[in-house]
Structure 1
C-alpha cells in the first residue's frame, strides 16, 4: 500500500475526487460519476458527498481497523 493511499484511509471519510484518483485512476468528473452510479460508496454530510473509509477498505478488500 503506497503512502498516499495510507493517508487517505487514515481518516474516517475522504473526498470523492481523491478516492477516485488514488484508488481507481479517475478524473474528478469520473469520480463523481462513479459515486453517482454507486461504484464508490458515499454518504451525504450536509451538502458534501464523502466516502466513508471503512466501506472503501471493504470494497478494496483491505482489513478494517478495529
Structure 2
C-alpha cells in the first residue's frame, strides 16, 4: 500500500507566499521518513529472494 505524496508546486518567487510550497515539502518528507506512512521493517538475516524483492518493491513504492 502506497501513501500518495503531494506534488510540489513551482518554487515561490521573491515576495510570493511560501505556505503551500512549504506544507507540500513537509508532507512529502513525512511520508519518505516513515513518520506518516509508517516505518519500513528490516528484513531478517534469513530472508528469501522473494522477501528481498518484495522489500525492494516496497522501497520503490515509497519513493514514487
TM-score after normalising by structure 2 = 0.28
Normalized per residue, which structure has more strand? Answer: 1
TM-score after normalising by structure 1 = 0.27
Q: Larger Cα Rg: Structure 1 or Structure 2?
A: 2
